[in-house]
Structure 1
Amino acid sequence: MRDTSGEKAGQGLQRRLGTSDAVMIGLGAMVGAGLFSAFTPAASAAGSALLVSLFLAAALAYANARSSAQLAAQYPTSGGTYAYGREVLGPWPGFIAGWGFVIGKTASAAAMALTFATYTVPESWVKPAAALAVVVLVGVNCLGVTRTATVAKIIAITVLALVAVILVMIAAGNHSLPTHAPGTYTGVLGVLQGTSLLFFAFAGYARIATLGEEVRNPGTSIPRAIGIGLGIVVLLYTAVAVVLIQILGTAGIAQTTKPLATALGDSWALPLVQIAASLASLGALLALVAGIGRTTMAMARENDLPHWLSAVHPRFSTPYRAEAVAGAAVLVLVAFFDLGTAIGFSSFGVLVYYLIANISAIKQPRAERTSPVWLGVSGAVGCVVVVAALPTGAVMGGLAMFAVGFGYRAVRLQLGAR
C-alpha cells in the first residue's frame, strides 16, 4: 500500500467526522437523487414491474456497498474505488474506476442542480438557477468538510421530516385525481433499464467511502455508515414507490416529471414537496461536488490527472482546486444536458466504477474479507448486465468519455517514458 503519511502529516485531510456525520452525508447524496429524479424515467422503462426494478437496484446497491465497505476498511484513504483498484488490481483498473466516478458523478451533480431549479423557478430560469446553485455549493465545499457535513446533516434531516409528512398526505388518498392505468409489462430489458435508472438513486453511498481520510476510526465507521444509510434509503424509496403506485399507477408516474407533486394534487402539502425536492437536490449536489473533488485529488496525487489538482487548502483542509474544476465541469453539463440524459450518462460511469469495486473485493486476500466472495461476484455480474441494458445513447456517450480518459492516460505515460 502506497505510503501517504507525508501527505497526511502535511497536506493531508483531517479526520473530523464520526459515523453519524458520514451517514448524514450519504443520506444527503442519496435522497435527493431518488425521490425526485429517478422514478419517472424508471417507470417509463419498467412499466408495471417498477417495484421489481427497485428491488433489483437495491440488491445491486447492497452487494456493491458490502464490497465498498470491505475495501474501505482495509484502505481508509480518499479516492474510494480509484484507490482500492490501484492497490488491489493495479494502476489501469484504478484509473478506470476513478475516471468512471468522476464522469458519472459530474453528470449526477448536473442532474441534481437541474432538479433543484425545476422545483424552484419558472422554466425559462432553470438553467441559470441551476448554475448559481453549483457555484454557491462549490464555495461551501471549499470552506471545509465540517461545514459541509453540518449543512448536509441539516438538509438530510429536513428532507426526511418533510417526506414523512408527504407520505402521510399521500396515504390519505387524493380522490380528485383521474384513474390511471397500472402500466404494462415492458419485458426483461425494460426491467433492467428501470434497474439502471433506479440504481442512480442509490449510488450516493459511494460518497461515504470517499471520506476515508476524514472519518475517525474509518475501519468501523465507514462500513457502519454505509449499511445504516443504505438501509434507511431502501425503506424510504420502497414506501414512496408503493404509495405512488397506489395513487398514480406506474403509467401515471411515467407521465409526470413531478410524481410526488402530482399525487398530492391541490393539497395544502404541495409546497412541502417543492421545499423537500429543493433541499434534497441541494444536499445531493453538495455531497457530489465534495466526492468528485476528493477522487480528483486522489487521481492527481498519482499523476493520473494534472498534479496541481492535488493541492489541499492550508486553512480549510479541502481539495479546493479539484472542487473548483469539478464545479466548472458540472456547469458545462448543466448548460447542455437535460435531466434524463444526465441520469443515463451518470449510471454508465457509476456502474463501471462499482464493477471495479467488486472485482477488487473479490481479489482481496481471505484475511481482509468481511463479505463472502459470491456477493462480490453477484455485484460484478449485476453491474455488467445492468450497464449493458442502458439506453444506447448513454452507452455510446459513456464509451466515448472512457476513450477520452484512456487516451489522456496513454499519452501521459508515453510522454513520461521519454
Structure 2
Amino acid sequence: MRMYDVIVKKRDGGQLSKEEIEFFVEGYTQGDIPDYQASALTMAIYFQGMTPEETATLTQAMVDSGETIDLSQIKGHKVDKHSTGGVGDKVTFIVGPLVASVGVPVAKMSGRGLGHTGGTLDKLESVKGLEIEMTKEQFIQNVNEHKLAVAGQTGNLAPADKKLYALRDVTGTVDSLPLIAGSIMSKKLASGADSIVLDVKTGSGAFMKTLEDSEALAQEMVNIGNNLGRNTIAVISDMNQPLGFEVGNANEIKEAAEILQGKKVEDLRELSLEIASHMTVLAEVFSNYEEAYQALEQNLENGKAFASFRKLIESQHGDTAMIDDLSLLPKAAHAIEVTAEQDGYVAEIDAESIGIAAMYLGAGRATKDDQIDHGVGITLKKKIGDQVKAGEALVILHSVESNADSSVQKVKEAYQISSTQVEKPKLIYKVIK
C-alpha cells in the first residue's frame, strides 16, 4: 500500500477502507510516513470530510496506537463525562460526587488547563496535599471503595492523536469535524469507561461558537461512541457567559462545594443535575431521566453528595479541613472591584475575555510551563439579564497585585450594558443520543 494512493483517494472524495486508515495511523505514529504526506491527507479530509464509519475507524486506530486503561477490575458500570471546555466549568466536582452518591463508579482521568479554560487537576490541587498522581492499583481501589477517583492521565494514551494534533495545529486543519471528534473521543475511549456523557459547550467562551457547529460536533462524537460500542449521549450547553459566579482554581472548588451543600446557583446546579441524571440512567441505576433527577436532587439536599466529595478529597490525601471550612482555601491578597460605568442591564458577557482576564491574574497558563496561582481568580457579581447601576460592581478580581490593569481592561471589554431588559440565555439547548 502506498500513502500517495490513500491521499489521492481522499482528495477525490473517496471513502477510505479500514486497512487504509490503519495503515496511515500506524505508519505516521511510528515515523514511517512523513509529515508532508500526513498533512496532505489531513487537508484532504478537511475539504472532503469523512463518513461516520471512516471517523469511527480513525478514532479506533488512534486508540489502538497506544495504551488503553483496563477498568475491568472496577465493579459496576463505569460512566465518564467530558466537557469540551469553558470558563467557570467546575461541573466535574459536582457531578462526580453526585453520581458516586447513588453507587455508580466514576473513574475520572483529567487534564491541566491551558489558555482561557481551567484544568480539573489544577483546581483540585487548590486543596493542600491532594494527590492526583497515583498507581493504577490505587486508582482502582479508590473507585471500588468510594465510587470516585480523579487522577492525571497516565501512560501513553492515543499517541497518534497527540502527534496528529501537533501537525494539524500548524497546517490549518484543526477545524475539521471528523478530526476534532476523533481527537476528543480517542482519549475518552482509551480511558476505559463503559458509557460516556459529553457536555458540548456553545457560545463565546466555547471552542464551537455557534449552536450549529456545536450540534454537528456533538453528533459526530455520539456517532463515534455508539459505533465503537460505548453508549454515548451529548448535552449541548451554553457558554456565552461563565458558568456559576466563580472563575479560578480555589474559587471554583469553593463554589462546587457550596453547591454540594445545597446552595442554589441556578445554572451550575441545573447543568450538573442534567449531566449526572444521564450518567446514572446509562449506568441503569434509574429507569428514566425524571427518576434520576429527583433522586440526585435529593442527594444534594441531604448531604450525601457532599459526603462523596469529602471522601474524594480524603482518599487522595487532601486536607479535609479546607473542605469543612472553605475559608481556609487559598486566597489572593487583593480584591479589586470592576464597576459599571452606566445604569442598565447586562446584555453580554464575553466568556473568553473573562477567562483570559483570569489567566492574566495567574489562574491559568499562557504556555504549558507557566505556574498556577490557586488563590487568584474572578467573582462575577452580575450576569446576563441582571440590572446594574453606575458604580456598582460587575466583578471582583482576586489578585496578588494591588492593581491588575490588563485584567481590569479585559473585564470591561467583556461586559456590554444595555438600556433595555435582556433575557437570561438558555442553558441547555439540546440532548443528542
How would you bin the TM-score normalised by the shorter chain?
under 0.3
The answer to which structure, 1 or 2, has the higher relative contact order (CA under 8 A, 6+ apart) is: 1
TM, length-normalised to structure 2: 0.25
Q: Which has the higher strand share?
A: 2
More helix by share: 1
Task: Say which one has the larger Rg.
Answer: 2
